[in-house]
Chains A and B, each alone.
Chain A
Amino acid sequence: MVQRSRGNRAVSKPKRILAIASGGGHFVQLLRLRPAWEGHEVTYATVHAASAVDVAPAPLLTFRDVSRADWWRLPLTLVDAIGILARVRPQVIVTTGALPPLVVLTLGKLLGIRTLWVDSIANSEVLSGSGRHAGKVATKVVTQWPQLAEPGVEHWGSVL
Chain B
Amino acid sequence: MPFDRLVEAMDQWAAAHPDVPVEIQIGRGKYEPRHARFVRMMPVVDYRQRVADARLFVAHAGMGSIISAIEAGKPLLMLPRLQAQGEHNTDHQLATAASIGSRPGLHVASDVADLQARATALLADAGAPPAPISRFADPGFTDRIRAFIEAP
Q: Which residues of A contact B (CB under 8 A)?
A: 11, 15, 17, 23-29, 32-37, 40, 48, 50-51, 53-54, 67-69, 92, 94, 114, 116, 118, 120-126, 128-129, 140, 145, 156-160
Residues of chain B from 73 to 118 with CB closer than 8 A to chain A in the complex: 89-90, 92-93, 95-96, 98-100
Collect the chain B residues with CB atoms within 8 Å of residue A26's CB.
Answer: 63-64
Cross-chain contact A24 with B64 (CB below 8 angstroms): yes
Collect the chain A residues with CB atoms within 8 Å of residue B137's CB.
Answer: 32-33, 35, 157-160
Q: Which residues of B contact A (CB under 8 A)?
A: 1, 43-45, 62-68, 70, 89-90, 92-93, 95-96, 98-100, 133, 135-146, 148-151
Cross-chain contact B100 with A160 (CB below 8 angstroms): yes
Cross-chain contact A128 with B92 (CB below 8 angstroms): yes
Other-chain contact of A37, B1, B96, B146 (Cβ < 8 Å): B146
- A-B Cβ contacts below 8 A, count: 122
Other-chain contact of B149, A37, A53, A128 (Cβ < 8 Å): A37
How distant is the Cα of A67 from the Cα of B88 in the complex, in angstroms? 10
Collect the chain A residues with CB atoms within 8 Å of residue B139's CB.
Answer: 35
Return A144 CB to nearest CB of chain B, in Å.
8
How distant is the Cα of A34 from the Cα of B92 in the complex, in angstroms? 26
Output the nearest chain B residue to A13 by Cβ-Cβ distance.
B150
Cross-chain contact B144 with A68 (CB below 8 angstroms): no
Cross-chain contact B140 with A157 (CB below 8 angstroms): yes
List 14 A-B pairs, Cβ < 8 Å. Answer: A15-B149, A24-B64, A29-B63, A32-B136, A33-B137, A36-B142, A51-B44, A94-B145, A121-B96, A122-B63, A126-B92, A156-B144, A157-B138, A160-B100
Collect the chain A residues with CB atoms within 8 Å of residue B138's CB.
Answer: 157-158
Return B87 CB to nearest CB of chain A, in Å.
11
Cross-chain contact B142 with A28 (CB below 8 angstroms): no
Cross-chain contact B148 with A140 (CB below 8 angstroms): yes
Q: Known contacts A35-B142, A36-B142, A124-B96; is A50 also within 8 Å of B44 by CB?
A: yes
Besides A34-B136, A50-B45, A126-B92, 20 other A-B contacts (C-beta < 8 A): A24-B63, A25-B65, A28-B67, A29-B63, A32-B135, A32-B136, A35-B146, A36-B149, A48-B44, A67-B1, A67-B89, A114-B151, A122-B62, A123-B95, A124-B96, A124-B98, A129-B89, A157-B138, A157-B142, A158-B137
